Structure 1
């Protein structure tokens, strides 16, 4: 995290009004007017971190100087750092770019919807010490996928990382991580393509950069990373069927002094993808024989939800779905769980 330093300089002239005798190098005494040549300079340094702040309208901003905020493409939204900085909120529209630590990418006229064909790119640039981008999805509303989970009318794609071939459908109040490699490219572009199909579309996603040495980094390969004792695990298009072309881990960190986790379905049935796709749990869920990898066939669950399982370390779930157009996802549900870690 960068630190801003402001130099406040005060120069004070000290005029004594008296001449002063100074011994010169040749041994002669000379007169020196201290009123013209004697100064006292005081330097004061104000430092503050580029930490998160809350701007107008409840949007998350970053504390910058007003100049740095403008250079990165943001706008001032209140003060921070005792008035030495501004809460810089960055909203990136179609075709725009930002270099600020956190930015919001938004559809035209958000929160209003639109209904017309569009190709819209949002780009964020980052420094060589950035390894991840966290995406906090406030709302993405695009046309739903086909019954095979493929995005054909509307798509969201990412220029770096391939955890998701493309995204569509409706997703709210969820988060995802993208692994980025500055040696490949120092920017990440989100591309939304909408079709002529009639549908009310809109989106807003907060993108925050994570440095390679920050503790908030998710383990490599984790498309979602949960660092609280309770929460909701929701995939893309969680209000509909699950998408094809996914390959990522869902990682739940073990919190201090917690020894088990209870998982509860936030829908009618436990999530089981269609065969040809796999979802691996961090514990056995199927008997005869006992295993943790399952697909939607005639299976016998060890136990119905809620499931309470020991927690000796992080829990990792693995989701892999193909782009097979014949695999009908409409008879399956999507990833949508509640979890609570229980104290020891």
Structure 2
């Protein structure tokens, strides 16, 4: 008898809870005054794939990433609801920032030019601050979903101190108060990315700044700003990596490589790192099939140069060898490569793959501020890589 009464009473409570939830959805005036079944549902604020889609430019996913919040949390944090998450109990909340002076405080925020998706014609400088969403964060990843600024203009200028080659007309700069400063970039960089060291203090911040040339141009960008806690997945395993690639195969390009009629950028000193995959001991690099995919510090037409012949612009590969990976180890290795041909043989006219078995896998990019020959292409570098089993 008592058991039956208990079961009946439990069913009664469930009906009351459902009725209260329905009444809560009908009117906002009774919020907080009635019991809601959904008040006891909890879920993590994990990342989610939203229903918000890219209109153009993006080379990867067609949908933006968001964070799973309740509807009220998304609204209070200034996000935009875009689909459901947490089995329908949450809202996939997407964050956008556009106005100069705004502060980015939410993980996975999309930084877009004012008036996006229309282009920006105003030439006033823009500046944004990134504050940590969690004290454990120590790094940002910037993914250029779309990125179009003025490049170098394929021109040479003289500032009185000497000729400048590859000077950016527009400039994008990423810095942090911990002392990190990325090289200035410009031009077309859709699909590129970079890591920004924010520092280990909870109060450390980063700055993302745009400065523009006076001439009017169709500028447009959308940059996904992801905050990464220290020593977690997605964090570069080696120090000093501006870019970090994963996978058995892939492609590396210098910034502003996309246009075929513009110079590579000047004053670039950074490392592109590649995660060593399980069971892989070496990595092989070769020129991409794109036109002028290896054009740095040209001393002569259609020739490649190595080591001490490369003093201005070059690619650094610590143990570059000519033998196929896994072959003889008693071969000469080179550490610098430049010219118009990738080869370990100085003044070679034929491109050959370069093998490197030094860990961690990394390619160093170095360009100075002196002018290249304007009559020769100086597009930069595009390399395909393949990891080789042990």
Q: Normalising by the residue count of structure 1, what TM-score does the alignment of the two structures yield?
A: 0.76
Contact 1:164 1:245 (C-alpha < 8 Å) held by counterparts: no
Contact 2:147 2:222 (C-alpha < 8 Å) held by counterparts: yes
Residues 181/70 of structure 1: CA separation in 2 closer, same or farther (3 Å cut): farther
Alignment of 1:236-275 (within 5 A): 236-239=255-258, 240-266=262-288, 267-269=290-292, 271=294, 273-274=296-297, 275=311
**1:45 CA drift (Å):** 5.6
Contact 2:182 2:196 (C-alpha < 8 Å) held by counterparts: no
Moved more, 101-110 or 140-149: 140-149
Whether 1:321 and 2:384 are equivalent positions in the alignment is: no
The equivalent position to 2:96 in structure 1, one of 70, 91, 108, is 91
Contact 2:320 2:356 (C-alpha < 8 Å) held by counterparts: no
The equivalent position to 1:280 in structure 2, one of 299, 316, 327, is 316
Q: Runs of 5+ in structure 2 lacking a partner?
A: 1-12, 14-38, 54-62, 157-164, 298-310, 324-330
The equivalent position to 2:189 in structure 1, one of 171, 179, 185, is 171
Q: Normalising by the residue count of structure 2, what TM-score does the alignment of the two structures yield?
A: 0.68
State the number of aligned residues. Answer: 303
Q: Runs of 5+ in structure 1 lacking a partner?
A: 1-11, 13-42
Equivalent position SS for 1:90:
strand
**1:270 CA drift (Å):** 5.3
Equivalent position SS for 1:176:
strand
| Higher helix residue share | 2
Equivalent position SS for 1:59:
strand
Residues 119/250 of structure 1: CA separation in 2 closer, same or farther (3 Å cut): same
Q: Which residue of 1 aligns with 2:51?
A: 55
Residues in 2 aligned to 1:236 and 1:312: alpha-carbon distance in whole angstroms = 25
Q: Which residue of 2 aligns with 1:293?
A: 336
Equivalent position SS for 1:292:
strand
**1:182 CA drift (Å):** 4.9
| Higher strand residue share | 1
Larger Rg: 1
Residues in 1 aligned to 2:282 and 2:273: alpha-carbon distance in whole angstroms = 15
Residues in 1 aligned to 2:51 and 2:205: alpha-carbon distance in whole angstroms = 25
Alignment of 1:326-341 (within 5 A): 326=371, 331-341=377-387
Moved more, 162-171 or 135-144: 162-171
Equivalent position SS for 1:316:
strand
Whether 1:144 and 2:167 are equivalent positions in the alignment is: no
Contact 1:73 1:98 (C-alpha < 8 Å) held by counterparts: no
Residues 305/261 of structure 1: CA separation in 2 closer, same or farther (3 Å cut): farther
- 1:279-308 Cα distance to aligned partner (Å, 9 max, x none): 201432689974221343999634855526
Residues in 1 aligned to 2:332 and 2:388: alpha-carbon distance in whole angstroms = 28
Q: Which residue of 1 aligns with 2:82?
A: 77
- 1:156-196 Cα distance to aligned partner (Å, 9 max, x none): 11232645342111111121111111539533221112233
Residues in 2 aligned to 1:242 and 1:154: alpha-carbon distance in whole angstroms = 14
